Structure 1
Amino acid sequence: MRPDSSPSLDAGFKKRLVEHGAHLGVDVEIVTKDPQVKGFSVVKRRWVVERTIGWLMHHRRLVRDYETRPDNSASMTTLTMIDNRAKRLTTETTPTWRDD
């Protein structure tokens, strides 16, 4: 993340994550739809969230919620993002269920 940017959140996560960010000393920006626009409107930086979720769905274990403990799920998400970053740095891939 660039030093001049703050994390952006969808309006659905407003209360809990803003409080958590304040506890950590992080300024959190809530991204909301412009009330003047009727119908569909593009929400700023929403594509970043959608892209990241798409990357996570390439890993079989994260497609379904197999984990019963939240810390296991968080660990698998972290490992997946490490794998994605390693692929981008080395241009090598690790075997996934799509490589069959």
Structure 2
Amino acid sequence: MGRKRSIVVDTLGLLLLVMVTAASVSDNEAGKQLLTRVASDHPTITKAWVDTGYKTQAIEHGAALGIDVDVVPRNPQVKGFSVIARRWVVERSFGWIMMHRRLARDYETKPTHSESMIRLAMISNLAKRATGETPITWHNP
């Protein structure tokens, strides 16, 4: 059974909210749930950038909650990988948590366990930054 990991980060890439759902849950439905939680947990947030998987329903739901949701589209003229404005912040955050071996695959059986492991990975990253510790990675000799 596949899972979909959805995270909300601030402009620095620091985790604000994480939600893990079954892969069968649409981006629109997950987006509405995330926006509801964001509005509840972080009432000062008034702007959100999302990828093109989020459609009109999520955007309208965000507007009803007082959050301006902007879809950040890909440039259709660019083939292959390209940095997408605002989207790279989330991708960088996913990259940081994927450096934790347990999160490289979907080992957890319950969504709440997976969410907890993502939070622990971000706490570990923040602790390493605060102490100046260099993380051991697969690409370091």
Gaps of 5+ in 2: 1-9, 12-43
Does residue 88 (structure 1) correspond to residue 129 (structure 2)? The answer is yes
1:38 is matched with 77
Secondary structure, in 3 states, of the residue corresponding to 1:85?
helix
Task: Please say if residues 60 and 97 of structure 1, whose CA atoms lie closer than 8 Å, have aligned partners that are also in contact.
Answer: no
CA-CA distance at 1:92 after TM superposition: 3.0
Looking at structure 2, the residues matched to 47 and 25 of structure 1 have their Cα atoms a distance apart, in angstroms, of: 24
Does residue 47 (structure 1) correspond to residue 76 (structure 2)? The answer is no
Task: Please say if residues 51 and 73 of structure 2, whose CA atoms lie closer than 8 Å, have aligned partners that are also in contact.
Answer: yes
Secondary structure, in 3 states, of the residue corresponding to 1:12?
coil
Identity of counterpart residues, as a percentage? Answer: 49
Per-residue CA deviations over 1:48-69 (Å, capped at 9, x if unaligned) read 1221111111101100000111
Per-residue CA deviations over 1:48-95 (Å, capped at 9, x if unaligned) read 12211111111011000001111111111111111111111111368x
The correspondence of residues 1-100 of structure 1 with structure 2, limited to 5 A, is 1=10, 6-14=47-55, 18=59, 21=62, 25-33=66-74, 38-40=77-79, 42-92=83-133
Gaps of 5+ in 1: none
Q: State the Cα RMSD in Å.
A: 3.4
Q: What count of residue pairs does the alignment treat as equivalent?
A: 96
Greater relative contact order: 1 or 2 (C-alpha under 8 angstroms, separation 6 or more)? 2
More displaced 10-residue stretch of structure 1: 1-10 or 74-83: 1-10
Looking at structure 2, the residues matched to 81 and 33 of structure 1 have their Cα atoms a distance apart, in angstroms, of: 27
> TM-score, normalised on structure 2?
0.51
CA change 1:97–1:47 in 2 (3 A) is: closer
